[in-house]
Amino acid sequence: MYTNILTSQDNGITTITINRPSKLNALNKETIQELHAAFRVADLDADTKVIILTGSGEKAFVAGADISEFASFSVTEGQQLAAKGQELLFDYVANLSTPVIAAVNGFALGGGLELAMAAHFRIASENAKMGLPEVSLGVIPGYGGTQRLPQLIGKGRAMEMIMTAGMIDANQALQYGLINYTTTQEELIPLATKLAGKITRNSSIAIGAAIKAVNAVYEDGVNGYQVEIEQFGNCFGTEDFKEGTQAFLEKRKANFPGK
């Protein structure tokens, strides 16, 4: 079905793997389109409670964007490239109602780090290296990197990473709060699956509402507290709320219908 990605589903978890190992899983236009399609399918699938995003092989999650595709672009084409990419993939993933865990299995550079940052949270293998090297090419991050990196690690650290075009390793990323856990290459997907399993036990409707409320913190002109109040109230009209509260009162495990 796809040329550049692989998808699989098991126990409520859809795994999307970027599969261009000869190009270190670099993001080209076709891969961005395919990722959009795969995320859309998974989000609409009632059986998918969590999405794990990773790269194939042991070297790279995504080593960046495919520079050969846009090296000769004009100003307008450059702006369109960023706008289209953000709309199709990066903002799309960040605002998905299904939680997305990025399992960073190697280099996550440029567009690769931007994609990992669009996920709801990140874990990484010990060999992972992360950075935004765009200024070394005479350009800046264009897929949300200048916005999401300071949100995640603070302005000063983000400025340093962007200005130096340098890479940080998994331990530094953990100290910065860019990733939640670091583990061996072998344990990366098992850890992602374990975390995903904990998420699948909870109400997918409530999780979707929580994603909306948390994301509202970072939207200009939006009152996050008001969004939380609305989403909180909406939960009261769901079958998941009725089941969750009933199960609690009856001292049994909830079996959420996801409605």
Give dist(CA 93, CA 91) in Å, integer.
Answer: 5
Question: Which residue numbers are catalytic?
Answer: 114, 134
Residue with token string 């299995």: 105
Residues forming a β-bridge with 100: 51
Tokens at 112, concatenated: 């690769």
First vs last C-alpha separation in the chain: 30
> Considering Cα of 57, then 61, then 64, then 69, what sign does the dihedral take?
positive
What angle, rounded to 10 degrees, do the helices at 204-216 and 239-249 form?
110
